[in-house]
Structure 1
Amino acid sequence: MSQTVVRETPSHAAPGPRRSLSTRSLPKWAPLGFAAVSVVLGVGLGLVAGWESRIQWGLVSALFFVVISYTVTSAVENRRQAKDRLATSVVWVCFVLAVVPLLSLIGVTVSRGVKVLDGYFLTHSMAGVPGFEAGGGVYHAIIGTLEQVGLATLVSVPIGLLTAVYLVEYGKGALAKAVTFFVDVMTGIPSIVAGLFLLSIMLMFKLQPSGLMGALALAILMIPVVVRSTEEMLKLVPNELREASLALGVPKWRTITKVVIPTALGGITTGVMLAIARIAGETAPIMLLVFGSQLINTNPFEGAQSSLPFYIWEQYRVGSEASYDRAWAAALVLIAFVMILNLVARGIARWKAPKH
């Protein structure tokens, strides 16, 4: 009878050394710590140096933040991570430098605008109210802004959209280059030039001031913005979508209206809103072509009108405490107007966007 011999495999008494792949790294809260230390150093240096400007304190703190982030990361981790941290720190500093003035502007406008902003202010005009006294409202300026911006949008959006479609889908040769050149030139036209152009037409044909003339000047300023933004959005539509539609025998015009434009609708709407925000605060064309009015005029085709930018300039020119309050309140209304338009546009773009 044979016996089975079992041989035991010798075991190692102690495991051999293992090479660790882990390296030292900073904790996740390190950027917040760097920021806190930078603020302390910036404020301390500002107090010691006697700097009265808080802007100087902020700039020095931002410089400390970038330097500390790079230095500590280079010492603890490695130079590659330090360069990455440096780029991230610069991005955050630029973001803060852009946001702080915006928040400051909004804060000042809200704090000073709410003094007289109420239902009475929004539903009454300045008819019969002396500019240096309290009272009155902004209703006539709101009506003028809505009508003038609305007419300018109705004129400029179809022209801008069709021009962009031509440049992207059909434009070739000298004509397309000429259109592109003039669109670029019109983008930089000052608002006063557009107002003077329409004013010369008014004088030639002996036309009276009206909201329509101001809307046409605003449309001149709005068209190049709509063309450029729409053109860029249409270029982002993949060519595969066009080719697939054309391969099915769909005409090109129907491909553009059913495939290309709906795909880029979100970006087009955003561009239109940017154009509206660009013209909503214009004052010079309104001064030249609409003349302003203290009364409520709901007819943009006849008679002088007011607008929110013109109302702000008008009240600030009076120079009294009451007029300053009305000017800040009107500025707050204008900001709210642009914000509401952007929210509505984003909702429409999301609603009309193609479903994936």
Structure 2
Amino acid sequence: MFNSDSIVSLDNKVYKKRQRTNRLMLTLSSAALVFGLFWLFWIILTLIIKGGGALSFTLLTEATPPPGQDGGLMNAIVGSVMMAAVATLIGTPIGILAGTFLAEYGRRGWLAPATRFLNDVLLSAPSIVIGLFIYAIYVAQVGHYSGWAGSFALAILVIPVVVRSTDNMLSLVPNSLREAAAALGCPQWRIITMICYRASISGIITGVLLAVARISGETAPLLFTALNNQFMSWNMGAPLANLPVVIFQYAASPFEDWNRLAWAGAVLITLLVLGINIAARSLFRK
């Protein structure tokens, strides 16, 4: 006869074995958490110590200086904002429409699974490969670096993130909502725009914000596309300054004033990415 008391007894060998396994896994998980947080806090603390002192109002109002002179990162900040904005405007509609097709129209057949697989490949592709791709098909053809080329490279990085988030969020919308609207004679395009998008808008926006956070610190694709510009420029058709490349070049330079600006730029990007991630998580939680 089944005896439930023997199962939960503290003297039960199976219970003791599971308890030891649980304690071991809890210890390993806690150690991994502490290990990861240790390096994270070390990186943030190093950035604050080395770059916090260089943060000032002139950092936002003056262009990058020649060696030995005072200056800021205004041209790099403006260039980064311009390229990130254009990349987001290009990549977001494409990503949302592609994710909508996968979730709403591609439930049957081979095209949607194949597209998801290719999107995952693009999502994990090294960003330097994207930069080389844009260099080959655009920069090499026009014969010069430009902000447009940098925006195109960043837009390719935005698309797979938005596709994945849109696909996942729309897939979470209950089919009963779609069926109820269809029973009332609502066409599918209106079901998607008036019901599915409204139900998943916070998750879609979260994906867009995470994509912006990703491209904010990308350096490799910009080295082959936008390169850099020491002067203040609003011309997207010419080489354009940007924070990641400026940090890369100034950090490797032998000049201490440039090194300080590189640390300050690293702090700015870190705070920006941290703020975007916090905003995205807060929005998704709602």
Q: TM tier, shorter chain? A: 0.7 to 0.9
**What is the total number of aligned residue pairs between the two structures?**
277
Deviation at 1:197, TM superposition (A): 1.9
Deviation at 1:336, TM superposition (A): 1.5
- 8 A Cα contact 1:195 1:217, kept in partner: yes
- Residues 89-138 of structure 1, C-alpha deviation per residue, up to 9 Å, x if partnerless? 33322221221111111111011111211001121112xx323x252111
Deviation at 1:220, TM superposition (A): 1.1
Counterpart Cα distance in 2 of 1:248 and 1:82: 57
Pick from 234, 241, 261: which aligns with 1:298?
A: 234
Counterpart Cα distance in 1 of 2:69 and 2:35: 37
The two structures, once aligned, show a CA RMSD in angstroms of 2.7
Deviation at 1:343, TM superposition (A): 4.3
Q: Give the equivalent residue in structure 1 for 2:90.
A: 155
Pick from 276, 283, 297: which aligns with 2:212?
A: 276
- 8 A Cα contact 1:266 1:346, kept in partner: no
Change (3 A) 1:230 1:170: same
- 8 A Cα contact 2:120 2:160, kept in partner: yes
Deviation at 1:306, TM superposition (A): 0.9
Alignment of 1:102-117 (within 5 A): 102-117=40-55
- Residues 229-271 of structure 1, C-alpha deviation per residue, up to 9 Å, x if partnerless? 2212222222222222222322221221122222222222222
Structure having the higher Rg:
1
Secondary structure at the counterpart of residue 272 of structure 2? helix
Pick from 227, 252, 272: which aligns with 1:337?
A: 272
Provide the TM-score with structure 2 as the length reference.
0.86
Matched, 1:143 2:78: yes
Counterpart Cα distance in 2 of 1:101 and 1:241: 46
Pick from 189, 211, 215: which aligns with 2:125?
A: 189
Q: Give the equivalent residue in structure 2 for 1:17.
A: none
Pick from 303, 314, 327: which aligns with 2:262?
A: 327
Deviation at 1:213, TM superposition (A): 1.1
Pick from 124, 131, 135: which aligns with 2:62?
A: 124
Decide which structure has greater helix share.
Answer: 2
Q: Give the equivalent residue in structure 1 for 2:199.
A: 263
- 8 A Cα contact 1:189 1:221, kept in partner: no
Change (3 A) 1:86 1:204: closer
Which letter does structure 1 place at the counterpart of 2:212? I
Secondary structure at the counterpart of residue 249 of structure 1? coil
Unmatched tracts of structure 2, length 5 or more: 1-8
Deviation at 1:278, TM superposition (A): 1.9
- Residues 65-106 of structure 1, C-alpha deviation per residue, up to 9 Å, x if partnerless? xxxxxxxxx9xx955544443333333222212211111111
Deviation at 1:218, TM superposition (A): 0.9
Q: Give the equivalent residue in structure 2 for 1:210.
A: 146
Query: In terms of mean alpha carbon deviation, does 143-152 or 202-211 score higher?
Result: 202-211
Alignment of 1:156-171 (within 5 A): 156-171=91-106
Which letter does structure 2 place at the counterpart of 1:86? L
Alignment of 1:170-249 (within 5 A): 170-171=105-106, 172-202=108-138, 205-206=141-142, 208-249=144-185
Unmatched tracts of structure 1, length 5 or more: 1-22, 25-73
Pick from 20, 25, 33: which aligns with 1:87?
A: 25
* Percent of residue pairs bearing the same amino acid type: 39
Deviation at 1:341, TM superposition (A): 2.8
Deviation at 1:349, TM superposition (A): 5.6
